[in-house]
Structure 1
Amino acid sequence: MAEVSGYAIQWNQPAIIAGLFEERFARGAFNQSLIDNPDIAALWAHDTSRPLARVANKSLTLRSDNIGLWYSFRPDEKSPLGQEVLASVGSGLVNEVSVGFSSIEEEWDDSGSLPKRLITRAWLGELSIVLWGAYGNSTSASLSGRSTGATRAEAAMKARGLPV
């Protein structure tokens, strides 16, 4: 069975948000949220009507490590959306991740020309496979574990005119 995996966030990697400020996540910023709200979902482009996986049914795994927030999920290879994500990520067409979160604790530094926000604790609602995320190539989505099941999925994608 094919899996999509990578980093949803890497700790202390900067992103410029709307040209207004620089944002970073401190190591472990989501740790408490993963305990308090463990049922996180993986979505296609932040669209709650297009779920790809979730912790509750064990199709999504999340882990906070020394690098960042790592994830892995198995899309349903029988569903058109699962086939779409496998094709899009597998081809490298879509390869970034974005997170739906709310900051709980943060630190601001206004000493430079651009204010800097360090999020030390945040609530995580979802992660999304996206074309362009705020954190760019410090996030990742790649395909692994292709098997005979993936071959069946490729045949089904071809039959529907989806790119393989």
Structure 2
Amino acid sequence: MTPERRAIAMDIRAKGRRLEGYAATFDNPASIGGRFTETIARGAFAATLRSRGDILALVDHDPGRVLARTRSGTLRLAEDTRGLSFDLDVPDTTAGRDVLALAERGDLGGMSFGFTAIDEHRDGDRRELRAVDLHEVSVVLAWPAYDGTIIQARASEAPAPFRRYAERTLKLWELTR
């Protein structure tokens, strides 16, 4: 089976040399290539997370730009009521520095994930992912497929104008939910 990729615009926070946020959100419809609408069911990542396999954090799905991985403990993933959360230690590499700089400025496009569908339900032009085999999560520099949330970066020592911008962005996002 060919692995699939999905991306979402989402909340990414820069905390020193760490990024955290959501790589996927539940019950958030996305138009996939104009062919169908897809949602992710709660629990879709549970089996993968229990298996303790090695999942990578990449930049734009590029295996040449590894940011972190679960095997080394530099990538931590969990499912909660909102979706698939991630927390990763950003490496001091060109890719890591670039991603961190873009996150701090609020310029990232979102997050994405590469997977193989294990259990899905189709109904006409609707698809629900009920269980997936997760291969990787990726920082997306441009356009994600899922755009149900907002990207923002919050550094622990952000300048006052940035904090005000981030707070306004978060308030606007909360009002649109």
TM-score class normalised by the smaller sequence: 0.7 to 0.9
Residue in 1 aligned with 2:21? 6
TM-score (norm 2): 0.74
Q: 1:86 aligns with which of 74, 97, 100?
A: 100
| Alpha-carbon displacement from aligned partner over 1:100-150 (angstroms, at most 9, x marks no partner) | 01111111112xxxx100010001000100021111243756354469xxx
Q: Does 1:53 align with 2:75?
A: no
Q: What are the within-5 Å matches in structure 2 for residues 22-37 of structure 1?
A: 22-37=37-52
SS at structure 2 position matched to 1:136? coil
**Do the aligned residues in 2 keep the contact of 1:9 with 1:138 (CA within 8 Å)?**
no
Give the share of equivalent positions with the same residue, in percent: 35
**Do the aligned residues in 2 keep the contact of 1:97 with 1:141 (CA within 8 Å)?**
no
Q: Which has the larger radius of gyration?
A: 1
Q: 2:136 aligns with which of 117, 126, 136?
A: 126
Query: Separation in 1 of the partners of 2:152 and 2:85?
Result: 10
- Seen in structure 2, the aligned counterparts of structure 1 residues 39 and 120 have a Cα distance that, compared at 3 Å, is same
Residue in 2 aligned with 1:135? 146
RMSD (Å) for aligned C-alpha atoms: 1.8
**Do the aligned residues in 2 keep the contact of 1:5 with 1:140 (CA within 8 Å)?**
no
Give the aligned residue type for 1:135. Y
- Seen in structure 2, the aligned counterparts of structure 1 residues 11 and 139 have a Cα distance that, compared at 3 Å, is farther
- Seen in structure 2, the aligned counterparts of structure 1 residues 3 and 143 have a Cα distance that, compared at 3 Å, is farther
Query: Separation in 2 of the partners of 1:30 and 1:140?
Result: 22
Unaligned runs of 5+ in 1: 148-164
**Do the aligned residues in 2 keep the contact of 1:4 with 1:141 (CA within 8 Å)?**
no
Query: Separation in 1 of the partners of 2:150 and 2:134?
Result: 16
Q: Does 1:117 align with 2:124?
A: no
SS at structure 2 position matched to 1:32? helix
Worse-matched range after superposition: 21-30 or 2-11: 2-11
Give the aligned residue type for 2:75. L
**Do the aligned residues in 2 keep the contact of 1:33 with 1:124 (CA within 8 Å)?**
yes
Report how far residue 87 of structure 1 moved: 0.5
Query: Separation in 2 of the partners of 1:57 and 1:146?
Result: 28
Query: Separation in 1 of the partners of 2:78 and 2:152?
Result: 15
When the two structures are aligned, how many residues end up with a matched partner?
Answer: 142
- Seen in structure 2, the aligned counterparts of structure 1 residues 46 and 103 have a Cα distance that, compared at 3 Å, is same
TM-score (norm 1): 0.80
Residue in 2 aligned with 1:65? 80
